[in-house]
Structure 1
């Protein structure tokens, strides 16, 4: 009886915290994709907290099945949330919703038809392999995008949110695959307690970072790259920034394929953390890719406005400036100038 009451208390605490978190995100960041997906992830996690049990059973109540299905589909929302959290250019597509619907429907069908038909283990293993797959995709996105973030506190909170959720989800998926039958009250109480602690930890971490940093309202506008020596008091920092700007202007290092902040720090012979801090605090950038793209776009703007290059294809100009494909170039260019590269070229020709 004590374990049952304790488990219910943990579940109730998790659900309450997640509902408050979802309401807060909707209230403050409903116009931001990452904020909306974060609210959806919190609601799906609340369904998980209310419905999840360690172990496999073939009997699922009809009212319980929708909660389990929403809890399963929430792994797709988690992946999308991670994409939006680490990639400011990410946009939802129709097929994202289709993937969520398919995963949710498969879980629902498994609860009401597969499990009662004697195929509970197959259904559970299939669902948990799907969960592990989306967790791997989310972690891969975090690893790929995290180095470009220049705001230290935001970087740490984002990684904590993704790692905590991924670790919890991954461990539970593995347990469901390995554990046959009911795992008992002790296991479910421990699981509920761990979930409550993780939810509380995520809520606490989010309270200690500026929400506008964690959920930026738009693709970061690139600040001017003109360096003002008067704005930098420290002589050593001033020399480093001047050296950095020489690499950008003279060597056009931003053209190099897959240039990283670590490689750039190596060229300047300084630790990566110091270069990250310089670009963020001295030059005003929050993302390393935006810093690089600003220089690339300035070069592209000059080429597009040059009458001698009027016949050069836009994709050639984009790739010469360091972009790897036309899509990211078009999005970054429009974010900075407000028009597409083609429109920019036409405006410059008409103004000449």
Structure 2
């Protein structure tokens, strides 16, 4: 079998696996933002599988340029997918679409105008620096958000998906910058197609082996606690730990501490972090540690806003006292829980009194 045929087989396998993933995500989780972004990421990755070449020349066929532009835009979709994957409260904004459009438009212009005019190295370097920048943003999001994830079965899968994509994309970006203007040959193209097929297969396998309800939660609100049958001694020990945790939250109001982490909380309880993570998730029904903290903060804020003696206290003061670092996140979290803004909540309570 020729190298060209092997290359084509690898690309076809990548596209088939990605389309299968798209169909699965849209069939089961079409109403979940993270799943829709995952499907968009898979579709744009299919465009990458069809169009990508390590060997960059000054001219590409006109029909090829839109595919290359969509392939470049994949990195923006990957960044947004990562945001939604690690932050259950993430929402798309209008400017996200503009970022994708600008990156895609620049790539298209590079194919049909910048590179053909003699600036191949400039076009390829800028495009790949953009790719590396968005990879850095995605990895940074993963590092910042991963500790708060309480669902053990999806934590490793999420990290693997992001790291595998970042490693493949980052190495390709660096390689393309290094060899721009040089012909690398069919062997390098075939090896790259094989690496892509292996990466896609590993990511699809990692996503398919995790319960979709764990990977793509339908709601931010706490899920019902998972009940496991366990020995009475273990259940009693767990209950004692939960009671101690609730004393820290309700009595000491430890959630007010700045930058409180699950590791700090586990240290106060003198238990391993993984055990506290499991207790909060499986016994209390929370999927995210920050949501767990914020619900306690919001309960304190609700009591303060409903207190007639604190009617003149500014909302931001109440938010900061409860442990929030700024007004914006407080307003969003409060409305997500109560359905109204803090100001509206205070007015409703005053009118009802």
| TM-score between both structures, scaled by the size of structure 1 | 0.95
* 1:89 and 2:89 matched: yes
**Distance (whole Å) between structure 1 residues aligned to residue 289 and residue 129 of structure 2:** 35
**Which residue matches 1:260?**
261
**Which residue matches 2:2?**
2
> Is 2:222–2:285's contact at 8 Å kept on the other side of the alignment?
no
**Distance (whole Å) between structure 2 residues aligned to residue 78 and residue 232 of structure 1:** 46
**Distance (whole Å) between structure 2 residues aligned to residue 334 and residue 26 of structure 1:** 28
Could you say what secondary structure the match of 1:107 adopts?
helix
**Distance (whole Å) between structure 1 residues aligned to residue 204 and residue 131 of structure 2:** 23
- Structure 2 residue runs of 5 or longer lacking an equivalent are 226-231
> Is 2:21–2:42's contact at 8 Å kept on the other side of the alignment?
yes
**Which residue matches 1:211?**
212
> Is 2:222–2:287's contact at 8 Å kept on the other side of the alignment?
no
TM superposition outliers: structure 1 runs of 4+ over 6 Å: none
> Is 1:58–1:116's contact at 8 Å kept on the other side of the alignment?
yes
Describe the superposition over 1:320-346 as per-residue Cα deviations: whole angstroms up to 9, x where unpaired.
Answer: 101111221122112222222222212
Describe the superposition over 1:197-217 as per-residue Cα deviations: whole angstroms up to 9, x where unpaired.
Answer: 111111111111121221112
**Which residue matches 1:241?**
242
**Which residue matches 1:333?**
334
Describe the superposition over 1:134-179 as per-residue Cα deviations: whole angstroms up to 9, x where unpaired.
Answer: 0000000000001000011111111111111111000000000111
Describe the superposition over 1:31-57 as per-residue Cα deviations: whole angstroms up to 9, x where unpaired.
Answer: 221111111111110000000011321
* 1:48 and 2:61 matched: no
1:223 CA displacement = 6.7
> Is 2:262–2:277's contact at 8 Å kept on the other side of the alignment?
yes
Could you say what secondary structure the match of 2:119 adopts?
helix
* 1:345 and 2:343 matched: no
**Distance (whole Å) between structure 2 residues aligned to residue 322 and residue 41 of structure 1:** 36
**Distance (whole Å) between structure 2 residues aligned to residue 237 and residue 334 of structure 1:** 32
**Distance (whole Å) between structure 1 residues aligned to residue 223 and residue 213 of structure 2:** 16
- Give runs of aligned pairs for residues 149-298 of structure 1, distance below 5 A: 149-180=149-180, 181-221=182-222, 234-298=235-299
1:16 CA displacement = 1.2
Describe the superposition over 1:80-133 as per-residue Cα deviations: whole angstroms up to 9, x where unpaired.
Answer: 111111111211111111111111111111111111122111110110000000
- Give runs of aligned pairs for residues 141-152 of structure 1, distance below 5 A: 141-152=141-152
**Which residue matches 2:140?**
140
> Is 1:221–1:336's contact at 8 Å kept on the other side of the alignment?
no
**Distance (whole Å) between structure 2 residues aligned to residue 2 and residue 222 of structure 1:** 53
**Which residue matches 2:306?**
305
**Distance (whole Å) between structure 2 residues aligned to residue 170 and residue 343 of structure 1:** 47
**Which residue matches 2:228?**
none
**Distance (whole Å) between structure 1 residues aligned to residue 239 and residue 220 of structure 2:** 28
**Distance (whole Å) between structure 1 residues aligned to residue 172 and residue 45 of structure 2:** 13
**Distance (whole Å) between structure 1 residues aligned to residue 76 and residue 233 of structure 2:** 45
Task: Rate the CA distance shift 1:244–1:187 in 2: closer, same or farther, 3 A.
Answer: same
1:286 CA displacement = 1.0
**Distance (whole Å) between structure 1 residues aligned to residue 87 and residue 328 of structure 2:** 15
**Which residue matches 1:73?**
73
**Distance (whole Å) between structure 1 residues aligned to residue 161 and residue 142 of structure 2:** 11
1:233 CA displacement = 5.1
1:285 CA displacement = 1.1
**Which residue matches 1:227?**
none
> Is 2:32–2:216's contact at 8 Å kept on the other side of the alignment?
yes
> Is 1:139–1:162's contact at 8 Å kept on the other side of the alignment?
yes
**Distance (whole Å) between structure 2 residues aligned to residue 99 and residue 127 of structure 1:** 13
